[in-house]
Structure 1
Amino acid sequence: MDYPKSVPSVGLVDGRFVDENLVAGTPGSLIPAVWGNSVTEELLGVVKAAGMTPAEGVNDQLLTAFKKLLSLASPMASRVTEVSASKALLVDELGLVLISANASDTTITLPAVNGLAGVRDVIVRRTDNSANRLVVQAAGNDRIRFHTHLSASGYPFLVLVGAGDWWHLRSDGSGNWWPVGRFDATPLGRIVFESSTTLNPGGYGALNGREFLRAEWPWLWDHAVQSGMLRAEASRAGGWSSGDGIKTFRGPEVRGEFIRVLDEQRNIDTGRVAGSWQNGTNITGDNGYAPAIHGIGDISTIGVDPTTFGGLVYYTTAAVAEPLSSGFWGMTRPRNVAYPGRLKLI
């Protein structure tokens, strides 16, 4: 594309356009048809390359085409947007979006995927550490395609839990946002132990049998339904419960419990159901002696050496004497450390 130097035309000086000069009596430039058609084809080429159909009555097609083509080269805009209240994000606000829900529960709605010019990225990051709920919502019938192993179409929203929690999402032009990355990709529903009583960011909650609303945690409810550990509220033990059977459900309650690996057909701990409780058991020691003594006070009264039994040493005190008829006779509890348990919620 160039000035029409190759087309001799009235009013062109070295191929460049000039105005009419009444004093000198020289005419203004006339646009040659071949050059006008060439310029038009150059511009239409940009519009067509963006997958758009040229329309005579639309005056912003070139700009829209440029935006779309640029997004194909780099879907992430070099923009930082700060948000401190519920709002619908504009297309031009995509990029790194820093969100504070410190004032109240907050919902951020993403732009409609089909209204975007091409593929676009957004990183939504939480900046506050309050207990307020922070929701990132897809527009209309759009979906966010996370945890598709539970729901093939994904979910209409996600939540950001804790300061520093973030998700990197990419639109596909067909009604979906796809996760490209996130702060913590630990699998949903996993139990972990922490060396801090403070909840870490990334989607964790206390392992305390909390009650959830199914509408607010649909992916976690799907996980519970498909876990093989869902029971009625009255018999939930350490598994999931169906809550009120309509609107709620409950997470596992594991506080103060020891964790044992499920037998799963090994036939050592037979008859166990995942998430079930088991009372302590009197077990004869592996050395062939009688069950180990636990909680005995002055064991010399039963004719046993007061410091050793079965090759093991016991520390005793008359203040905690326990009769042989006790249901805890022979049970032992090893020295242990208590760490806070956490549950991955999203």
Structure 2
Amino acid sequence: MDYPKSVPSVGLVDGRFVDENPVAGTPGSLIPAVWGNSVTEELLSVIKAAGMTPAEGANNQLLSALQKLLSLASPMSSRVTEVSTSKVLAPEEAGLVLISASTADTTINLPAVSTLSGIRDFIVRRVDNSSKRLVVQASGNDRIRFHTHLSANGYPFLALIGAGDWWHLRSDGTGNWWPVGRFDATPLGRIVFETSTAANPGGYGALDGREMLRSEWPWLWDHAVQSGMLRAEAARAGGWSSGDGVKTFRGPEVRGEFIRVLDEQRNIDTARVAGSWQSGTNITGDNGNAPAVQGIGDLATVGVDPTSFVGLSYWSAAAFAENLVSGYWGMTRPRNVAYPARIKLI
């Protein structure tokens, strides 16, 4: 497409349009039909390529067609934006956003999702490992569609926890951000054991029964409500609690506890409720007898310090006291290793 240089039309100078000059007596440009038709066909080809039917009375078809065609192109920009304070991201900042919240709680607002802005991709990544809260917030009534098994509409914000934690979010042009990928997609609420006392990135927190605000962790509160393990604060044991009943809730507390698999109708550990505590019991063999520990010298073979009887209980079916060489000694706490436990918070 070009100016009509090849058409010897009236009022064209080197193919370019000019205004009428009454003083000089030169006429203004007259658009030749061949050129006008060519321009029209150029514009119609864009509209048709977008799968639209040209309409004479519509004045916004070219814009709509361009938006639709652009949405089919890659929504990811090669731009990298570094942020160290709360900020509202602009649509043109789509790409990789590196965020530091080392000095204060930080909120990063995503641009509004609309047909005008089209489809955009943002990768939001945390670079600091502080305990400050870092929130990625959707604009207005927009929603981030994660954990839709708990809430069909998703949530208005998400939290980045730990250095290296990241989410890849894509807008759909209709008010939603959809997760395309994230650092750790382990299911919400899952318990894991670590070989480090430092908190790893990916949305994990200590399994310490801490009290949380429902407004700050709405997806985790929804998980607790739907878990079948939510109880009143006084009866929470190792399950979730309803906190103050209004604004707070509390996660499971399992520090220093042994974990036992829930019976779930096998009828070996009957009448147990998920997350409930159980008093310690003596361990017997399959025949109902105590383990074969015949004396103090044998204790080391089962991992017990012979100089202390921590974790031992004395079994006796007889009415009289038994001595230490009896076969009635059993362990209630075997040798063990303590690993830090973490829970998936988002």
**Same-fold call, TM cutoff 0.5:** yes
Cα offset, 1:320, TM superposition: 7.1
Q: Which moved more, 1:184-193 or 1:83-92?
A: 83-92
Q: Give the direction of change, closer, same or farther, for the CA distance of 1:125–1:321 in structure 2 (3 Å limit).
A: closer
> Which residue does 1:110 correspond to in 2?
110
Cα offset, 1:119, TM superposition: 1.2
> Which residue does 1:126 correspond to in 2?
126
Alignment partners' CA distance in 2, 1:255 and 1:83: 37
Alignment partners' CA distance in 2, 1:279 and 1:235: 15
Q: Which moved more, 1:316-325 or 1:156-165?
A: 316-325
TM-score by length of 1: 0.82
Give yes or no for contact 1:237–1:253 (8 Å, CA) kept in 2.
yes
Cα offset, 1:42, TM superposition: 2.4
Alignment partners' CA distance in 2, 1:54 and 1:82: 47
What are the within-5 Å matches in structure 2 for residues 180-199 of structure 1?
180-199=180-199
Cα offset, 1:32, TM superposition: 1.2
TM-score by length of 2: 0.82
Alignment partners' CA distance in 2, 1:313 and 1:142: 58
What are the within-5 Å matches in structure 2 for residues 1-346 of structure 1?
1-4=1-4, 9-10=9-10, 16-17=15-16, 30-43=30-43, 45-46=45-46, 66=66, 69-114=69-114, 116-286=116-286, 289-290=289-290, 305-308=295-298, 316-317=306-307, 324=314, 330-346=330-346
Q: Give the direction of change, closer, same or farther, for the CA distance of 1:116–1:133 in structure 2 (3 Å limit).
A: farther
> Which residue does 1:296 correspond to in 2?
none
Alignment partners' CA distance in 1, 2:205 and 2:186: 13
Between the two proteins, the alignment pairs up a number of residues equal to 330
Residue aligned with 1:114, SS? coil
Cα offset, 1:130, TM superposition: 1.1
Q: Give the direction of change, closer, same or farther, for the CA distance of 1:142–1:55 in structure 2 (3 Å limit).
A: farther
Q: Give the direction of change, closer, same or farther, for the CA distance of 1:144–1:315 in structure 2 (3 Å limit).
A: closer
Residue aligned with 1:249, SS? strand
Cα offset, 1:319, TM superposition: 8.3
Alignment partners' CA distance in 2, 1:322 and 1:93: 64
Residue aligned with 1:179, SS? strand
Alignment partners' CA distance in 2, 1:339 and 1:169: 34
Structure 2 unmatched ranges of 5 or more: 317-328
Cα offset, 1:38, TM superposition: 3.1
Q: Give the direction of change, closer, same or farther, for the CA distance of 1:308–1:171 in structure 2 (3 Å limit).
A: closer
Q: CA offsets, 1:212-262, max 9 Å, x none?
A: 100000000000000000001001000100000000000000111111111
Alignment partners' CA distance in 1, 2:15 and 2:311: 110
Alignment partners' CA distance in 1, 2:55 and 2:84: 39
What RMSD over aligned residues (CA atoms) do the two structures have, in Å?
Answer: 3.7
Alignment partners' CA distance in 1, 2:117 and 2:311: 78
Q: Give the direction of change, closer, same or farther, for the CA distance of 1:248–1:53 in structure 2 (3 Å limit).
A: farther
Alignment partners' CA distance in 2, 1:270 and 1:104: 49
Q: Give the direction of change, closer, same or farther, for the CA distance of 1:265–1:103 in structure 2 (3 Å limit).
A: same
**Aligned-partner residue type, residue 174 of structure 2:** S
Alignment partners' CA distance in 2, 1:90 and 1:99: 15
Q: Which moved more, 1:78-87 or 1:179-188?
A: 78-87
Residue aligned with 1:135, SS? strand
